[in-house]
Structure 1
C-alpha cells in the first residue's frame, strides 16, 4: 500500500485564522493528494459553534481533525479582551498539543508540523520531536518582516515607540509611523511588548514560513526577506491568496440579495468590520450619519458596540435585531430606506463582494477581508481597529494606493463629515476611479498567482513535493 505523507496542523480558536489556514490546507492536499493532514484544534468554552463546525465538515477526506478538550478560563475576568482570552487558551493548550504530536509521530512518523503564526511556541515543541517545523503566517509579509526584525529594531530605538517622531524603517517595507504599529509595540515598557518580542524570536526556529500573500502584492518585501535567508531568516513561501471559495445557497429571496439586485453596477458601498470587529457607540452614530450624508448606496453589517472594538468572533449575537437597531440614530433606517440596508451581525461577505453592484468596501483591514476585496477588484476605505490592521491600512493606502484612509480627530473619532467626504470620493470621485484601476490590476495579479504556472501555485507545489519526498523516505 502507498505510504501517505503525514503532516500535523495546529490551529488557533479565531474564526478568521481558521478560515485562512484551512483554505491553505485544502489547497495543499489538492496539489498533492499523497499528503495526509491531521488538524489539532485548541478550544475554549463548552461547545464548538456552528460556523466553526461548518468549516471542518467541508474538509476533504485526506484532512482529519480533532478538537482538544476546552480550556477552563473561569479564573479570567469576565470582560477580558477576546485577544487575551485566545492568548490564555493557546498557552494553556501547549501540554495537550505536545502530547498529541508525540502520539501522532510515534504511530505514523510525522514529516512536519505546520502551526498558525499566533501559536509559534509549537515550533519549539516540534524541534523536540526532531521533525520539520513550519509556520503559517495568515497576514502580510510586511508584518512578518516587522516580527522577524523586531528584536533588532528594539535595540535601535531609544524612546518609547509611541513617541517616535520619525517613521520606522522596516526592512523591505515602506516607512511606518509609530502610531500605526501593532498594539503590543505601542508601549515598550509593557509585559505585552516583552511577550511580543519573545514570540517573534521563535519564528527563527521555523524551517520555513508560509505567507498568505503573493509576489505581485508585496514583491519588494518578499524579495528582501528571501535575500536574507543566508543570514538566518527562515525560508519564505508566498503562497496566497487563500480566500474561502463558498457561497450561501439560500436562493435569491434573501433581503440583501434583493437589495443588491436592484442597484446599479458598482454603486453600493459594503460596510463590514470582519468576523468580530465593531465600533463604540458614538462612532456607530457618526458612521450612520456619515453614510446618510454621503448620499451613496450602502450595505452595512451592524454589530453591537464594544469598548474593545471587537466581539468574540466564535460566539453568536447577544441582542435581538430590533434591539441592535436601537444603537442607530433615530429615524436612520426610515430615512435611508431604498438607498441603504443594515444587516444584523453577519452577512456572506465573499458572495456580497462578488456582486456586480458593489463598488467599494469600508473595512477594518483584516487580512482575509483585504484579500477578498483584492480578488474581487473592490476599492477600499481603510478603517483599522486593532492588532496589525493599522499596518495593513498603511500598506493599502500608502504602499499599494488602493485605499483611502479617513482622518481621525483628537478624540479618536472619525466624524460624519469626514466619512461622507471619503465615501463620495471613493464611490464617485476621481481618486476613486484611479484606485479602482489599480485594484483591477491587483485582481488580475491575484488570479495569475493561483493559475497552474502562477507564482503561488508553483511555490506551494514545490514545497508539497519536498514534503512528499521526505514522507516517502520515512516510509522505506
Structure 2
C-alpha cells in the first residue's frame, strides 16, 4: 500500500473488486470503510469486513490515512483475505497544529482535511465496484460529507467502542450546553439513560478540558453522528444491558443502533517473542498466569511501572508482562502511533526484580500475541488498560480482568466493567504495590469480589458466542443492516 492513493490488489491482478465477482460474473455488493488512525480502529473494522464477506458475500475496501502507514499496519492489511482490499488516502498537511495537540484532534483534522480526496476515491469506487454503502468510524463523521457528494446512498457509523460511550457522544451536544463547568468537577456522577453512573473524573478523557480544541471536536462529532443512517457498535447486549435496551428503541432524529460485536481477531500469531512466551505458558498450570498488557498504545510513568513490578512480585502469582519503556516526559498514550518501546524497557524495572521473579514471571518487550495468550489454558487473569478491543478479547476467551485504565474512554470502561456488569476488579487510584497485589490476588484466587467476577465473565463469554451464531442478536443485527444497504441499492442513486 502506498501513500499516494494507490490501492492494494488482493487475489489476482484484476483489481481489488475482482475477488467479489459472483459465479454469474456480476460484481458482489461492495462497502467502503474509512479507518481513522490506530490499530484499535483498524482491527475491528477489518473483522467487520471479513464477516460481511463470509456471512453476506460482500466485498470491502478499507480506506486508511497516510499518517498510519506503518510496517505493522502494512503487514496487517496484506494478511487480509481477497474480499477485503485496502487503499490509502493521500497525505494531508498537519504542520500547522500546535505541538502537543491531542491525538483526537489530529485524527479529526486529518479526516476533515481529507474530504476532497475521499470524495474522489468514493466516486472512483462507484465507477469500478458495486458500491452499496460507506462506513466511517468514530472520528470520521465528517467523511459523510464526502460520501454524500460522491452519491453513496447509505452512510453508516462504525463505533469501535461501546454503547456507554456512544450514549455519551449522542448526548454530548446537549450536555455541552447543560454542563457549563468541567466534567471532572461534577458534584455527582454523570447519569445517562440506561448507563452506569460515571464519576466526573472518569468521563471520557477528551472531554476533561473544555478549553482544548479536542473537546470542541468531540461535541462536533456527537452532533455529526446523527447524519448516519445507522450506527454499528462493537459491543453486545449482555455486557451493556441498560444502554442496549434504551438504544434499541427508535428515537426521532437519532440513527438506529445495532450492536454487532464482539468483533475481534480470531488468530494473531506473528511477531517477535511469540513462540517463546507461548512455550513458557505451555509449562504453567491451568489458569495460573495473569497476563499484563496496556495495549498497543499505552505506557506507564516510571514510578507506576516500578510499583506494578513490585506488586506483581508481592502478589505471589505467575505473570506474563508486556513491558514498555515508561511515559515520563510525555503522555500515557505516547505509543499510540508506534507500539515499539523507544528505550530498553527492562532498564526501568526495580533492581533485582528480574532475578527474583525468574521462576514465576516472564517479561516480553513491547509486544505479545495477545489473542493467543488470552486463549491459552494457563491464562487465568488479565491486568488491562481497558481498551475496548482488549476488553472484548478478554470476555470472548472467558478471562476475568484487573482494570488499570490509562486514557481515551478507558476510565469510563473501567467503571462500567467494575461497578456495572461486574467483570473486573479495579486497581485503586493510588497505585501502590500492596493495592496492586491485592487486586491481582482477588481475581486470580477468586477471593472477595474475584469469585463473582470470574462467574460473570464465564456468563458473558457464553452470551458473546451465542450472539454471533446464526440467529443470535449480533448476527441478526448485522443481517438487518445489510438488508437496508441492499434495499438502498434497489432504490437507485440520490
TM-score (norm 1): 0.92
The DSSP-based 3-state class of the residue aligned with 2:334 is coil
Cα distance, 1:232 vs structure 2: 1.4
Which segments of 5 or more consecutive residues in structure 2 lack a partner in the other structure?
Answer: 1-24
Q: Which moved more, 1:118-127 or 1:465-474?
A: 465-474
Distance 1:138 1:315 in 2: 20
| Cα shift readout 1:213-237 (whole Å, capped 9, x = no counterpart) | 112222221221222x232110111
Partner of 1:165: 187
| Cα shift readout 1:190-246 (whole Å, capped 9, x = no counterpart) | 43322211111000000000000112222221221222x232110111111011011
Indicate yes or no: 2:439 matched with 1:417.
no
Partner of 1:242: 263
Q: Which moved more, 1:307-316 or 1:416-425?
A: 307-316
Report matched runs for 1:178-217 at 5 Å.
Answer: 178-217=200-239
Partner of 1:315: 338
Q: Which moved more, 1:67-76 or 1:279-288?
A: 67-76
Match 1:438 to one of 447, 456, 462: 456
The DSSP-based 3-state class of the residue aligned with 2:114 is helix
Distance 2:413 2:237 in 1: 16
Alpha carbons 1:13, 1:43 under 8 Å: kept:
no
Indicate yes or no: 2:266 matched with 1:225.
no
Change (3 A) 1:226 1:250: closer
Alpha carbons 2:317, 2:360 under 8 Å: kept:
yes
The DSSP-based 3-state class of the residue aligned with 1:115 is strand
Indicate yes or no: 2:419 matched with 1:401.
no
Q: Which moved more, 1:171-180 or 1:50-59?
A: 50-59
Over aligned residue pairs, what C-alpha RMSD do you find?
2.2
Alpha carbons 1:265, 1:357 under 8 Å: kept:
yes
Indicate yes or no: 2:382 matched with 1:358.
no
| Cα shift readout 1:98-134 (whole Å, capped 9, x = no counterpart) | 2212332355463221111111111233233442110
Cα distance, 1:79 vs structure 2: 5.9
Indicate yes or no: 2:50 matched with 1:17.
no
Which segments of 5 or more consecutive residues in structure 1 lack a partner in the other structure?
Answer: none
Match 2:388 to one of 367, 372, 376: 367
Alpha carbons 2:137, 2:159 under 8 Å: kept:
yes
Cα distance, 1:451 vs structure 2: 0.8
TM-score (norm 2): 0.89
Indicate yes or no: 2:25 matched with 1:4.
no
Distance 2:274 2:229 in 1: 50
Q: Which moved more, 1:449-458 or 1:241-250?
A: 241-250
Change (3 A) 1:193 1:304: same
Alpha carbons 1:82, 1:312 under 8 Å: kept:
no
Distance 2:332 2:71 in 1: 23
Q: Whose RCO is larger (CA < 8 A, sep 6+)? A: 1
The DSSP-based 3-state class of the residue aligned with 1:325 is helix
Q: Which moved more, 1:16-25 or 1:150-159?
A: 150-159
The DSSP-based 3-state class of the residue aligned with 1:201 is helix
The DSSP-based 3-state class of the residue aligned with 1:216 is helix
Partner of 1:124: 145
The DSSP-based 3-state class of the residue aligned with 1:69 is coil
Alpha carbons 1:278, 1:309 under 8 Å: kept:
yes
Distance 2:274 2:243 in 1: 45
Change (3 A) 1:194 1:9: same
Cα distance, 1:162 vs structure 2: 1.5
Cα distance, 1:316 vs structure 2: 5.6
Partner of 1:262: 283
Distance 1:97 1:18 in 2: 17
Q: Which moved more, 1:382-391 or 1:124-133?
A: 124-133
Q: Which moved more, 1:139-148 or 1:429-438?
A: 429-438
Distance 2:272 2:297 in 1: 26
Alpha carbons 2:290, 2:379 under 8 Å: kept:
yes
Partner of 2:294: 273
Partner of 1:42: 65
Distance 2:351 2:103 in 1: 31
Cα distance, 1:3 vs structure 2: 4.5
| Cα shift readout 1:335-374 (whole Å, capped 9, x = no counterpart) | 1001111100000000000111111100000000000000
Alpha carbons 1:247, 1:348 under 8 Å: kept:
yes
Partner of 1:470: 488
| Cα shift readout 1:140-168 (whole Å, capped 9, x = no counterpart) | 10100000011222333243322111111
Alpha carbons 2:105, 2:217 under 8 Å: kept:
no
Alpha carbons 2:274, 2:368 under 8 Å: kept:
no
The DSSP-based 3-state class of the residue aligned with 1:269 is strand
Distance 1:315 1:62 in 2: 28
How many residues get paired? 465
Cα distance, 1:406 vs structure 2: 1.4
